[in-house]
Structure 1
Amino acid sequence: MTADALAAANQDRFAAETERFRRELLAHCYRMVGSAHDAEDLVQETYLRAWRSYAGFEGRASIRAWLYKIATNVCLTALAAHRIRVLPSGLAGPYDGPDRPPSHVAPDEVSWLEPFPDGWVTPSADDPAAAVIARESLRLALIASLQHLPARQRAILILREVLAFSAAETAQILDTTTAAVKSGLQRARARLDELEPESEQLLEPTDPRARALLDGYIAAFERSDAGLLEQVLRTDATLESTPFREWYAGRKNCIHMLDAYVLDTPGTWRMLATTANGQPAAVIYRDADGAFRANGIVVLAPTATSASQVVAFHDPALVAMFGFPDLLANRK
Structure 2
Amino acid sequence: MPSNAEFSALTEPFRPELLAHCYRLLGSIHDAEDLVQETYLRAWRGFGGFEGRSSMRRWLYKIATTACLTALATRARRPLPSGLGAPADDHRVPVASREPAVAWLQPAPEFGAGDPAVAAAARAGVRLAFIAALQLLPARQRAVLTLRDVLAFPTAEVAELLDTTTAAVDSALRRARTHLAEAGPIEDEMTEPTGETDRALLENYVDAFTRADAEALVRLLRADVELEMPPIPTWFTGRDAVTGFLAARVLRPGRWRMTPTRANGQPALVVHHRTGDGRDEPYGVQVLTVRGGRIARITSFNDPALVPVFAPSSR
C-alpha distance in structure 1 between counterparts of 2:35 and 2:118, whole Å:
23
1:113 aligns with 2:100: no
What is the number of residues matched between the two proteins? 313
What secondary structure does 2:232 align onto? coil
SS of the residue 2:259 aligns to: strand
Match of 2:231 in 1: 243
Who is 1:185 aligned against?
173
Residue 213 of structure 1: how far off its partner (Å):
2.1
| Cα displacement string for residues 59-107 of structure 1 (whole angstroms, at most 9, x for unaligned residues) | 1211111110110010001111111111000101112478245222331
Inter-CA distance 243–282: structure 2 relative to 1 (3 Å threshold): same
How far 1:326 moved relative to its partner?
4.1
Aligned residues of 1:43 and 1:71 also touching (Cα < 8 A): yes
Q: Is the 8 A contact 2:91 2:244 kept in 1?
A: no
Change (3 A) 1:205 1:317: farther
- TM-score in terms of structure 1 length: 0.89
Residue 300 (structure 1) aligns with: 288
Is 1:282–2:269 an aligned residue pair?
A: yes
Q: Secondary structure at the match of 1:111?
A: coil
Name the aligned partner's letter for residue 116 of structure 1.
Answer: A
Structure 2 distance, partners of 1:71, 1:301, is: 30
Q: Is the 8 A contact 1:203 1:304 kept in 2?
A: no
Give 1:122's aligned residue: 112
Q: For the Cα contact (< 8 Å) 1:268–1:287, is it kept in 2?
A: yes
Identify if the C-alpha distance between structure 1 residues 57 and 208 changes in structure 2 by more than 3 Å, giving closer, same or farther.
closer
CA distance in 1, matches of 2:312, 2:220: 25
Aligned to 1:175: 163
Question: What letter corresponds to residue 104 of structure 1 in structure 2?
Answer: S
Amino acid at match of 2:112: T
75, 80, 84: which one aligns with 1:82: 75
CA contact (8 A) 1:101 1:261 kept: no
Query: Corresponding residue for 1:56?
Result: 49
Secondary structure, in 3 states, of the residue corresponding to 1:115? coil
Report the alpha carbon displacement of residue 277 of structure 1 after superposing the two structures with TM. 0.3
Aligned counterparts of 1:163 and 1:204: Cα–Cα separation in 2: 17
Cα distance in 2 for partners of 1:55, 1:155 equals 27
Structure 1 counterpart SS, 2:52: coil
Residues 254 and 130 from structure 1, CA distance in 2 versus in 1: closer, same or farther, beyond 3 angstroms?
Answer: farther
2:200 equivalent to 1:207: no
- C-alpha contact (below 8 Å) 1:299/1:311 kept by paired residues: yes
In the alignment, residue 268 of structure 1 is paired with which amino acid? R
**Structure 1 position 150 matched with structure 2 position 138:** yes
What RMSD in Å do the two structures reach over aligned CA positions? 2.0
How many angstroms apart in 1 are the aligned matches of 2:64 and 2:236? Answer: 36
Q: Which runs of 5+ in 1 are unaligned?
A: 1-6, 328-332
SS at match of 1:27: helix
Q: In 2, are the aligned partners of 1:293 and 1:326 still within 8 Å (CA)?
A: no
Q: Which moved more, 1:88-97 or 1:283-292?
A: 88-97
**1:6-33: CA deviations, max 9, x gaps?**
x4x5433222111110110000000000
Does 1:315 find its partner at 2:307? no
Structure 2 length normalisation: TM-score?
0.93
